[in-house]
Structure 1
């Protein structure tokens, strides 16, 4: 072996021949210490989590990983891969590691046993922009800000008292829609667009008591649906910038540019709501202003007024700009989460009922028995609509709005199912696959609501049964679940009770879907409503 400084492969590592070498020598010494420390930490961490290996998974190609083979329908692709690699497997997508879980027992480990570890988010570029930098409930990671935000939202906005107090506002908007339908007998209706308009108006009314001006209804509703649908596709589509953060500045697919445009439209929409609520007596070109009514107690305030009256000190040293972003982020959650996903599920329910006329007949019979044809549906009727509830649950099983939920990210490396899950990886819970697992569900491809009547207490939407989690589970379960349940059931019951629905002559119904973070029907559902109540006067009530 050669000896001497002149023949050493890296002589500058060990000796500084001149005073000017002191700085690089010191830097290299620090680097060696850092490498040693990181190596020790890695070995210590491996010792703590045991010798478990990473989950199995497809190899992919160098640099890109499995990206070239991913496709666009992720929920279907993930189900196919599970057949080859089992209920937990990994995918290397660019520089990021993803883990897909599709069994109830493993899901339980994540959402119950190690819920705190898996409570973080790693929002992609689209989600970061739309959530005002991760300031909303959905995409902010756990910590004081998220805990305070969720506590405020669930306890004060989504409480039974608050939801009961604004029932009349919801009912009024549903009744208006029924009246409008009655005035257009035999006209084909885009069911998803109709549902979205009802929900937009209901949410606007609950936010601050104002609704869309009548002349703006159809145009703005159609544009809102188009904008939100585009965002959902952008949010769920693979983006090179997310998988290779070093290339994000190039925005190779134009996703960041497109999301910013969508975000600007929604931000303007939200700002118009805030302007109307915070400027006394002011109206704008989109919203009507309701007459001020005396409020007998705090619970009768609009949602937005509750927000504005609260301090909203969600974190230390929160600036006015931070509070404004937080308010807009929360309102965006309510406006999008309370309209898009719910209208999507209304469309799926109506599609399945039109595909299964015998089930629709049973729903109609139940509504006649519980409500009667000489009355309108009220929220007090909903607990007695057991069969309709089973229908909705079955649709959530077959067509969960978010079949992959919102990905979680562990804040520390841990073990799930005997496999190491590294810190910072992204975890998909494939509830769409769990909901169609033949080892769990009898004839899982069939639409059979009766399965939810056989043991009524076994399944609900709260995520406590890990074979059925359409809204997620654990501390990251959907914060707006209480409102979603009420709005979905009440709107559907009202539409099905007030009208008989049929397909246009010659139309063929299909149930294919298109993937976004919210999975929608590939083609909009168009149907014709026929009045079924006893007197025309019922349709004119509000």
Structure 2
């Protein structure tokens, strides 16, 4: 008797919930339909589930492709609702992107906060999720400028990038004839670069409490952090943590926080020697009560999780595209040979003589931007986009993937043609004035590591190709190189790229002797 009664109660509850949500949706539509501007068009959303059937999780499997398809049907400004997480508007044209990121920059000061980032309250002090009017957000941007986004900071850290790019090249030559995972090799190098900039240590072999490698812990946290979570589409499930993501992320973040805090304490209690790294600057800010220890550990976590992943992804994509198009690889290696001659290793000062490698990186970012969907959130009322009303609280997605492949903007849009960037001053990393090319975003939330990435990525790619030829393993031909992608907040290869370095120089790298 009890079980049937429970079932009846559940059914009644669901029915009432559906009616209430439908009424609220109708009220909201009536409220805004009476305004001077209409809401953006989009597919019909069902009660409760919204457009979730078109997606897996809040954004879906390969959402950049799904949203590009929606734009072909409804136009360059499309609205949809993934579950009960609120309304989303996706922007898929240069004109609409310019209006969103420049004209409405101040109105888009906030960002959607995924449930995974709420683990240990990380989002409350994270530069990625704080609104741009936050004092802490501004403080973090200032801190980053000391090493990653100003000319003086980049000049100071140049020897670090040169040293580890050289090590990467030495390692690949030592592995001549052996298949390697490109992403792993690059990620180790990027991790060492970042850890030396931050606290003057190589990060590859560092271990956290319990003996786990620091780099492995970063990978674990990133994998869970970037997985789709049902709680984002249906917030009432958040407290249940159905997939266990927040619990796993909390354990990983706790280890990272402790690791960074120990570095902080060790430096503060150690000698007064100036290391000229970011941690020295952080200590000075802490001494002036501008940053707390909690804010510092979250800041370091953000930097490592972001920089070690996005740079690795771009280099791996570039290598995949070059292996897929051996004529481009040949052209690039010829440029390196002609410009560097007998010089054994590439240095950052050589990059000005290598226009084709910059063109390759730019074309890679056009086709496969590491962050294909730039997220923003409307934080003020009365905003409009393209003649449509966009209410406060609406989540905005700038579809860089769609803009970069727009055939009305890019001739042969789906082809890998680095030559299109040669001699073009308007198409640089900061984007074109008409917004056809904005791989690092724009406005206040433009990627703070833009200038750093613009130096590091081509340097690593050049170091991997100078005096090193590449082949594919197991008789794979260039036509079979798998360029399928996988979205998980960032856009990476669906399968890790494996290739074989071939070098005439084969000796143990100096740090192993």
TM range (shorter): 0.7 to 0.9
Residue in structure 1 matched with residue 236 of structure 2 by the alignment: 246
From 171, 189, 192, give the equivalent of 1:198.
189
Could you tell me how far 1:248 is from its partner in structure 2? 1.8
TM-score by length of 2: 0.84
Q: Distance in 1 between matches of 2:263 and 2:319?
A: 31
Instruction: Give the SS at the match of 2:90.
Output: strand
1:114 is the counterpart of 2:104: yes
- SS of structure 2 residue aligned to 1:128: helix
Q: What's the secondary structure of 1:93's corresponding residue?
A: coil
Q: CA deviation at 1:216?
A: 6.8
Q: Show CA shifts across 1:319-358 (max 9, x none).
A: xxx7122212221222122211100111000110111111
Q: Is residue 2:292 matched to residue 1:303? A: no
- TM-aligned CA deviation for residue 164 of structure 1: 1.3
SS of the equivalent of 2:337 reads: helix
Say whether 1:416 aligns with 2:385.
yes
- Residues 216, 359 of structure 1: alpha-carbon distance in 2 compared, 3 angstrom cutoff: farther
SS in 2 for 1:406: strand
Deviations 1:365-409 (A, max 9, x none): 111122223331111111221000000000001110010023333
Look up the match of 1:16. none
- 1:149 pairs with 2:124: no
Aligned twin of 1:75: 64
Could you report, residue by residue, the CA deviation over 1:110-153 in whole angstroms, capped at 9, with x for unpaired residues?
Answer: 11111111121231212333772331222111224145324413
2:79 pairs with 1:90: yes
Deviations 1:458-488 (A, max 9, x none): 2111134411111111111001112111211
Q: Is the 8 A contact 2:486 2:493 kept in 1?
A: yes
Q: Does the residue aligned with 1:367 lie in a helix, a strand or coil?
A: helix
Among 439, 444, 453, the alignment partner of 1:470 is 439
For these two proteins, the number of residue pairs brought into alignment is 472
Q: 1:352 to 1:532 in 2, by over 3 A?
A: farther
Comparing 372-381 and 509-518, the one that deviates more: 372-381
Are 1:164 and 2:139 matched, yes or no? Answer: no
Give yes or no for contact 1:52–1:419 (8 Å, CA) kept in 2: yes
Q: How far 1:417 moved relative to its partner? A: 0.6
Return the alpha-carbon distance in structure 2 between the equivalents of residues 467 and 520 of structure 1.
22
Distance 1:231 1:469, change over 3 A: farther
Aligned in 2, Cα 1:529/1:331: closer, same or farther, shift over 3 Å?
Answer: same
RMSD over aligned Cα, in angstroms?
A: 2.9
Counterpart of 2:397 in 1: which secondary structure? strand
How far apart are the structure 1 equivalents of 2:317 and 2:263?
A: 29
Distance of aligned partners of 1:351 and 1:324 in 2 relative to their CA distance in 1, 3 Å threshold = same
Q: After TM superposition, give the deviation of residue 412 of structure 1 in Å.
A: 2.3
Q: Is the 8 A contact 2:374 2:399 kept in 1?
A: yes
SS at match of 1:339: helix
Q: CA deviation at 1:221?
A: 7.0
Superposed CA deviations along residues 37-80 of structure 1, whole A, max 9, x for unmatched, are: xx9xx98x999xx5111111111211111112213221111111
User: Post-superposition shift, 1:361?
Assistant: 0.7
1:123-138 equivalence runs, <5 A? 123-129=113-119, 132-138=122-128
Equivalent residue number for residue 4 of structure 1 = none
TM-score, normalising length: structure 1: 0.80
1:233 matches 2:226: yes
- Output the CA distance in 1 between the equivalents of 2:167 and 2:179: 18
Q: Residues 375, 511 of structure 1: CA spacing in aligned structure 2 closer, same or farther, 3 A cutoff? A: same
Matched residue of 1:429: which SS?
strand
| Deviation of the 1:305 alpha carbon | 1.1
CA distance in 2 between partners of 1:77 and 1:474 (Å): 26
The 3 A distance-change label for structure 1 pair 541 and 470 is: same
State the distance in 2 between where 1:123 and 1:66 align. Answer: 20
Are the equivalent residues in 2 in contact too, given 1:127–1:134 (CA < 8 A)? no
Match of 2:174 among 179, 183, 187: 183
State the 1:97 CA deviation. 0.7
| 1:405-484 superposed matches below 5 A | 405-453=374-422, 455-465=423-433, 466-484=435-453
Aligned match of 2:484 in 496, 512, 531? 512
Q: Are the counterparts in 1 of residues 375 and 395 from structure 2 also a CA contact under 8 Å?
A: no
Structure 1 residue aligned with 2:343: 374
Instruction: Give the structure with higher Rg (CA).
Output: 1
| Residues 233-382 of structure 1 mapped to structure 2, 5 A cutoff | 233-234=226-227, 237=228, 239-280=229-270, 301-311=276-286, 323-382=292-351
Q: Does structure 1 retain, via aligned residues, the 8 Å contact 2:105–2:443? A: yes
CA distance in 2, matches of 1:224, 1:232: 12
Q: Could you tell me how far apart the structure 2 residues matched to 1:134 and 1:497 are?
A: 44
1:400 maps to 369
The SS at the match of 2:260 is helix
Q: Does the CA-based 8 Å contact 2:318-2:360 persist in structure 1? A: yes
Q: Secondary structure of the equivalent of 2:475?
A: coil
